[in-house]
Structure 1
Amino acid sequence: MESRVGLTRATIMLSVGMALSGTAGLFSVSSGQPTFNVVFFRCLFGALALIGWLSLKGGLKSLFSIERKLWPLVLGSGICLVLNWLTLFEAFHRTSIGFATIIYHLQPFWIVLAGGLLLGEALSRHKIGWICLAFLGLVLTILPKLGDVQTNRNWLIGVGLALVASLFYAATTLTTRAVKGVKPDVLSAVHCLIGCIAFLPFLNVATLQSGYAPVWGWLIGLGVIHTGIVYVLLYSAYPRVPTTVIAAASFLNPAAALLSDFFVFDRSVTAMQAVGLALILLAGLGVNLGWPFIFGQRRALSQKS
């Protein structure tokens, strides 16, 4: 009974964390600030929130106990993470929150390809099939806009930035896996501090001075909610729920992003784009859960029986 209650609580934490993470674009765009400013303050307020969390847990000393040999990987993963935020937030401005978020969900496929090509991991025909389906979805999402590229190159640049963001996130995941013995909340706090240092020279103070009061609400929310609270919720839930629950809950992220687009910014997608985006999400689910592509294995099993 206790384990069931614990699983339910962890599932709720995971679901809330995923849904909240899907509204990061809403906070970014609504702030009205340049992308460099948005990322800098996400890092600043996110670092403060995570350091506060570590202090409450009595784990603040962990920030200063990372082994020296791990620092190249910590720095590399941190730089990839903040560049991922930079390119994704810029993609939000150039395309739309929902559209960029779902393009961004190509990240699992880069990880699978990198594992197969660089790390020698098995790359099965089923994984290759899901990857091909995801890129078919990408083609379908772009096709309706190709005629507008001459007059709206901004949109195509936004798609490219969302793809680059997914590559940076895949690189973050791969490098973070190699950082052994460092807790996720400690690593995230360090990553935010790296972002503060990296983006401080690009801070545009003039736009902050001319901005209106709610700007700070959006920026603080982006750091405290989407980097502090969301990360704590997700990292607390991940070890306590099965992979199937994580994969299902991950749909709440793009769902929240699309709802933000529709209800706040009155943006929608065409039928073809909807099919393409659905294929990307379906393929992501197939890769994460290890489904056989086109249910080939199930047919083979039924023939044997």
Structure 2
Amino acid sequence: MEARSGLTRAAIMLSAGMAISGTAGLFSIESGQPTLNVIFFRCVFGAIALVGWTCLREGWKSLFITQRALWPLVLVSGVCLVLNWLALFEAFKLTSIGFATIIYHLQPFWIVLTGALLLKERLSRDRLGWICVAFLGLILTIIPKLGVMRADHDWLIGVGLALVASLFYAATTLTTRAVKTVKPSVLSAIHCLIGIVVFAPFVDLTALQGAGNGMWGWLVGLGVIHTGVVYILLYSSYPRLPITVIAAGSFLNPVAALLSDFFVFGRSISAMQGAGLILILLAGLAVNLGWPFGFGSARRVAPSQES
């Protein structure tokens, strides 16, 4: 019973983190800053929030990773994360927040595929079925935009960047799962520090001249809320959850992004996209609550083994 309660708590944390993260595109666009500036200051304010949180909860000594064998994975996961931000935030500008986020959420399928083929994780038929339902919902949300993609080359570039971002984020998730001994807040803080180092040479200082308090408000929010709060929630839940639950829960992110597009920028959602969103929500809820898929008893499906 205690283990089930812990799994439920982790699933709730994952869902909350993913839903909040879906509004990151809104903050980045509203800041009015170039993408490299947005990412740099996200890392700065995110690092401040995460280091402060860790020092208050665990003490400053917890910020140091003593196991040298973990550093390569920590560095790889951090680089993948900040490159993921770079590609995704630029995709927001070239397409739209909602559409880029939808394409970006091909990443759960890279995670599931990698988990099955490389990590030899066993997948139940029920969860595989619900993942397929979510994939169908994803397709339904993309179809109405196909015509726009053919006419606008920026849209095509944006789609490509969103796809690249999804690959980087999948790599971040998998490498993060391999460093479970590192506290989530410490890992997130190190990732932000890596981002500061990587993007500091590319900050456009002229774009900051004459910027009002509103711009700084969006950037601080992006760092504190979408990096500090969200990554504490996500990295606290990842080690406690199987890959399929992470994949399904992450679909809450595009729902929040599409709603941001609708209520803030007036970009309407078509009936087909609405149907896709319903399928995505249904699949995420079903996996988190352990609903059976179809009829018959649940069976375990192991990844194929070829000699």
TM-score (norm 1): 0.80
1:114 maps to 2:114: yes
Deviation at 1:50, TM superposition (A): 0.7
Listed as ranges, the gaps of 5+ residues in structure 1 are 1-5, 301-305
Q: Show the counterpart of 1:303.
A: none
Q: Show the counterpart of 2:55.
A: 55
Identity of aligned residues (%): 73
Q: Show the counterpart of 1:156.
A: 156
1:270-289 maps to which residues of 2 (within 5 A)? 270-284=270-284
Q: Show the counterpart of 1:79.
A: 79
Q: Show the counterpart of 1:172.
A: 172
The CA distance in 2 between the partners of 1:78 and 1:225, in whole Å, is 18
Query: In the superposition, relative to structure 1, how do residues 281 and 103 fare at CA in structure 2: closer, same or farther (>3 Å)?
Result: farther
Query: In the superposition, relative to structure 1, how do residues 162 and 297 fare at CA in structure 2: closer, same or farther (>3 Å)?
Result: farther
Which residue identity lines up with residue 198 of structure 1 in the other structure? V
Q: Show the counterpart of 2:296.
A: 297
The CA distance in 1 between the partners of 2:289 and 2:163, in whole Å, is 23
The CA distance in 1 between the partners of 2:163 and 2:86, in whole Å, is 12
CA contact (8 A) 1:23 1:257 kept: yes
Which residue identity lines up with residue 261 of structure 1 in the other structure? D
The CA distance in 2 between the partners of 1:236 and 1:120, in whole Å, is 23
The CA distance in 1 between the partners of 2:149 and 2:210, in whole Å, is 33
The CA distance in 2 between the partners of 1:78 and 1:130, in whole Å, is 30
Query: In the superposition, relative to structure 1, how do residues 171 and 239 fare at CA in structure 2: closer, same or farther (>3 Å)?
Result: closer
Which residue identity lines up with residue 209 of structure 1 in the other structure? Q
Q: Which moved more, 1:93-102 or 1:122-131?
A: 122-131
Q: Show the counterpart of 1:200.
A: 200
Listed as ranges, the gaps of 5+ residues in structure 2 are 1-5, 300-307
Which residue identity lines up with residue 263 of structure 2 in the other structure? F
CA contact (8 A) 1:110 1:167 kept: yes
Q: Show the counterpart of 1:94.
A: 94
The CA distance in 1 between the partners of 2:116 and 2:244, in whole Å, is 23
Q: Show the counterpart of 1:28.
A: 28
Which residue identity lines up with residue 40 of structure 2 in the other structure? F
Which residue identity lines up with residue 37 of structure 1 in the other structure? N
Q: Which moved more, 1:264-273 or 1:129-138?
A: 129-138
CA contact (8 A) 1:102 1:277 kept: no
- Please list the CA deviations of residues 232-280 of structure 1 after superposition, one character each: whole Å capped at 9, or x if unmatched: 4555678999999989976654443233211211112222233334444
Q: Show the counterpart of 2:211.
A: 211
Q: Show the counterpart of 1:3.
A: none
SS across alignment from 1:297: coil
CA contact (8 A) 1:109 1:284 kept: no
Q: Show the counterpart of 2:302.
A: none
Which residue identity lines up with residue 297 of structure 1 in the other structure? G
- Please list the CA deviations of residues 127-167 of structure 1 after superposition, one character each: whole Å capped at 9, or x if unmatched: 65555544444443333233333432222332332232222
CA contact (8 A) 2:131 2:283 kept: yes
Query: In the superposition, relative to structure 1, how do residues 149 and 99 fare at CA in structure 2: closer, same or farther (>3 Å)?
Result: closer
Which residue identity lines up with residue 189 of structure 1 in the other structure? A
- Please list the CA deviations of residues 158-191 of structure 1 after superposition, one character each: whole Å capped at 9, or x if unmatched: 2332232222111111111111421111000001
Which residue identity lines up with residue 105 of structure 1 in the other structure? H
The CA distance in 1 between the partners of 2:142 and 2:254, in whole Å, is 17
CA contact (8 A) 1:106 1:280 kept: no
SS across alignment from 1:268: coil
The CA distance in 1 between the partners of 2:78 and 2:171, in whole Å, is 10
Which residue identity lines up with residue 49 of structure 2 in the other structure? A
The CA distance in 1 between the partners of 2:195 and 2:24, in whole Å, is 17
The CA distance in 2 between the partners of 1:15 and 1:276, in whole Å, is 18
Which residue identity lines up with residue 89 of structure 1 in the other structure? F
The CA distance in 1 between the partners of 2:207 and 2:158, in whole Å, is 23
Which residue identity lines up with residue 45 of structure 1 in the other structure? F
Deviation at 1:103, TM superposition (A): 3.2
